[in-house]
Amino acid sequence: MKKIIGLAIAAAFGLSACSNLDHKTAHEVMSISNDRILKEDHSFNITGSSRVYISPLAEAVLADEKVEEKAKAEVEDAKAKAEDAMAKAEDAAASMEVAQEDDAALKQEFSEREEAEFRNAMLDALPDGNIAQVAVDYLDKYPAISSYMEGVHLNYESAVDLSTRQFELIPELAINNHNEKLSIKLPMKLDAEKWEIYIDPPASAAAIISVYTDEKIGKRLIKEPLKLSLKEIGDSKHMPFDHIAEAGGRAFLSANKAMPADAYVFKEMDAFGKANHARYRVRHVMKPEYDSVVMKAMAKAFDEELSKLQKTPQPGSTEEDYKNAREFFSMSVNISDNQPLSFQRIFGNNLVVDYYLDRKGRMLASRMYMQINGTHKAINIIGDSVYSNYGKPVFKLNPQGKGITWKELKEFFSSNKKEDD
């Protein structure tokens, strides 16, 4: 009997050891996590908050790590590059003046490559090609503005249910400063089953809109959201929206598997992860060289997924509609592939994201970090997100089909009803 109990205990420990992902690489763990969203974890809530703080350059941190010595080297040679940058800026300004004298030159149609080269030239005309560094140095001169920014948060709540194709996002601008408090929310919901978007404007926006409509619409704006049907826009009535959404979602999640093996690394658990009961902390640094790999993998996956779904076409959708969907997606990939405005190019650093997972790969939380270095100060942007209510997401905006359509609003705006007031 003791032997049987001993074997049972050993088996239990063995199953426990095999149930986690300790033997997997960080890349494999993230692939498993993405697969879970498609197969098991397809409905949940996310709450998040982002904040900004200004710090001396030497004290800026990358999530939980000190800034690399490379940042100091960049500061030291900044003066050496200043004269060259100024010369480029003067050349760019002179070129712009010449261009403005020739309207035909401004109105010519650029190819995608020419447009990318033009944008890059504009960036090169700025110090170090870094737009944000100029902003940081500007804020350094006005400490009251910097202090004010630290009291401004961008919060959000969202709900996702892939099984019913319902998506909700409630962004909130929250300001908490000296003698000043403000909260503005803009609830939005996408019913992808009907391809309808609902937007519930704050009272101030509704009040402004009501001035330009009649009393009937004004009263409805107090309680009803705005309603937009994507199927009524232009010639898109017969587009296979459902198949596009499904293929796009699957392509996005599966494309992450195309990342190089070293794109994800395990990091030591921190206080944020412990507070959310995470077992794994996986870091991804969004380097520009990854963009092309992911976008091409996404385009390929989208085409494959859409081809599978097209075997049972959506009612009313033609071969031409599916072809147009592929061409639009492909065009988006080609534009992104040029990478004229990458995070690194604009902000001087790569975006860093930490993912916090449980022992089975379920996403529990994530943290985004961006650091923008100026000459003496740095702007630190941190965004935290927490996942909850798996299988039972809570939706707060429930319009139940009611809403002021864009067509109704447009008719009242274009009418002369207000002229009689």
Please tell me the pTM assigned to this model.
0.74
pLDDT of res. 104: 46
In terms of DSSP H, where are the helices of 78-130?
78-101, 103-107, 112-124
Each residue's pLDDT tens digit in the chain (421 positions)? 544 555 444 444 444 444 578 889 999 999 899 889 878 888 999 999 998 888 887 666 554 444 444 444 544 554 455 455 455 545 544 554 544 444 444 444 445 555 555 555 555 554 454 667 777 888 888 889 888 988 999 999 999 998 888 899 999 999 999 999 999 999 999 988 788 899 999 999 888 888 888 788 888 888 899 998 877 765 566 677 778 877 887 887 777 778 888 899 999 999 999 999 999 999 998 887 787 778 788 888 888 888 888 888 877 788 888 888 887 777 766 655 554 446 666 666 788 899 999 999 999 999 998 888 887 888 888 999 999 999 999 999 988 778 888 888 777 765 545 445 5
For residue 93, what pLDDT is reported? Answer: 47
Q: How far apart are CA 54 and CA 377, in angstroms?
A: 7
Parallel, antiparallel or unpaired: strands 43-56 and 377-388 = antiparallel
Give, in order, the Cα–Cα distances in Å from 214 to each of 206, 385, 406: 13, 41, 15
Interatomic CA distance for residues 315 and 239, integer angstroms: 10
Distance from C-alpha of 117 to C-alpha of 340, rounded to nearest angstrom:
8
pLDDT at residue 60, rounded to an integer:
61
Give the per-residue pLDDT at 91: 54
Could you give the CA distance from residue 75 to residue 127 in angstroms, rounded to a whole number? 12
Tokens 């969907």 — which residue?
Answer: 325
Residue type at position 115 = E
CA atoms of 399 and 394, how far apart (whole Å): 14
Residues 6+ apart with CB under 8 A from 27: 259, 261, 263, 264
DSSP calls for 272-285: HHHHTT-SEEEEEE
